Amino acid sequence: MSLSPSHHANKARLTTLLGLLLLGNAFAQKLSEIVSVSSFLSNVGVNQIIWVWMVDGLLMLLMTSLQSLIIDRHSRLKIMEYMVLALALSFVLLQALLLLNSPAWFSQSLLYILSQQQWLTFPLIFWVFTSDLLGIAQAKQLIPKIASWGFAGYALGIAFVGFTSLLMKRLDIPYAAMVSGCLAINIGIYIGIFLMLRLSFSRHKIRPAVYVAEPIKETLIEGWDFVRGVALFRYLVIAVLSIVICETIVDFRFFQASFEAFPDLYTYQMVQSVYLFGRAVVEGIVSQFAAQAIVIRLGLKAVFIIQPIFSLVATTIMIAAPTFLGSLVGVFFQKGAQYGIDEPARKALEGMVPQERRGRVSNFIDGYMLGIGGILGALVIALFLAVGKTIEINLLGTNLYLFGALAAALIALISTWKMYQVYDASMLDWRLNRRKRGDTILDSLDF
């Protein structure tokens, strides 16, 4: 089928517009995350961040429930617009708290929690909106290109924080100016994203949300009912939950080791920027050049086993080498596979869910499991820290919680193996086959 130059131009324009939305959020998110983590660890301490993670996990569950109630009921474009306005307003309120000299632990905890909502909520709704806008066939082709804008946004945000930290340290500027500047930039970015959505996407034809009226209780548990009914997704949820627990513990160990090595605030922030920039590069390279080849070679049903193996390797390295360098290598193993291979593969698998349920199923897997996994991971850390403090053995107070990560990685490995075994049978499940009813002939065309 021959397509006109204007069609290709429109597709390129749409890809660019969507990419800019993702780039803006990614830039703002990294700015918020680095500034909040550096300030919190410096002003409050490493061990206390686990309590912030627990609150953040509870908030994720609350926000995911709210999204489940609305994501398949209303226009995804309108949801996107309201979401970015809410983010902009949140940063305005946080700027006001800063001007009122609120305690550092409170304001930086809120900034960190907001950064996590930027990381979780925006992409979750963005990718559902993108799938509605593009259709199945174009989405498969264009999503990797759009995703590369997100990696670019992360890289730019990280580089900006690193350069600004170096400059402000040399000029001896108070760190409060850094925090205030971060909030102002976030406000500007989300107002800009709102204007792009309102001016550029209102003219595009977007698939309306297909919604069957249901009571609130059924709406909230729809994702769980779907997952419970399809064996493949049931094991996927167990694997995702285990991997998030492992990731939470690995992150804590890295924060602990890195802050011990670089206690100065600006220096730590620069180290964090270099680390995150390296991560963005590795994840981007893996996602763009290795992930597709791996999926083609192994098949989608086998690719999920890679992440648990890398999690096992990461945890083993951290246990064997309890230094900053060992933690750095371990966290790269964990994150590189998780966000370069496992997450894109999971998004592809979620694309098989019928459109009228896709939003809530994605919410359940990528929202509820992240919140619950973060809470459980923080509880594991808190338990081992308490045990270590009680019996006064330093190893127990610093490293033994990594065995919790090791156990979680093993559970994920078993679950992904079970996924492999039930994959073919699950593809015949009527809950997945219903997707065909909503597809049109245009969905089968390769653009």
Round to whole Å and give the CA distance between 30 and 251. Answer: 16
List all residues 6 or more positions away from 264 whose beta carbon is below 8 Å from its beta carbon: none
Mean pLDDT in residue range 131-160: 76
List all residues 6 or more positions away from 369 whose beta carbon is below 8 Å from its beta carbon: 237, 240, 241, 244
pLDDT tens column, 398-437: 578 899 999 999 999 999 999 888 887 877 666 676 544 4
pLDDT tens column, 31-67: 988 888 888 887 777 888 888 888 888 887 887 777 6
Structure tokens at 183: 């909030």
Cα Dmax for the chain = 73
Phi, psi torsion values for 214, nearest 5 degrees: -140, 155
Closest C-alpha to 238, from 38, 67, 414? 414
Round to whole Å and give the CA distance between 435 and 351. Answer: 10
pLDDT for 436 equals: 43
List all residues 6 or more positions away from 349 whose beta carbon is below 8 Å from its beta carbon: 232, 233, 236, 300
pLDDT for 202 equals: 63
pLDDT tens column, 239-280: 999 999 999 999 999 998 988 888 877 888 888 888 888 887
Q: Give the pTM.
A: 0.77
pLDDT for 411 equals: 95
pLDDT band (50, 70, 90) for residue 439:
very low
pLDDT for 203 equals: 63
Round to whole Å and give the CA distance between 393 and 398. Answer: 9
| Predicted confidence (pLDDT) at residue 146 exceeds the cutoff of 90 | no
Cα 426 to Cα 240, 273, 430, 433: the distances in Å are: 18, 42, 9, 10
| Predicted confidence (pLDDT) at residue 346 exceeds the cutoff of 90 | no
| Predicted confidence (pLDDT) at residue 444 exceeds the cutoff of 60 | no
Burial zone of 58 (CB within 10 Å; 0-12 exposed, 13-18 middle, 19+ buried): middle
| Predicted confidence (pLDDT) at residue 153 exceeds the cutoff of 80 | yes
Please report the domains of the chain, with CATH numbers, ordered by start residue.
Answer: 14-205+216-436 (1.20.1250.20)
Give the rounded percent of residues in the chain with a pLDDT score beyond 70: 81
Task: Enter the DSSP assignment of 442.
Answer: G
Task: Enter the DSSP assignment of 100.
Answer: T
pLDDT tens column, 213-246: 455 555 557 677 777 778 888 899 999 999 999 9
pLDDT tens column, 185-195: 999 999 999 99
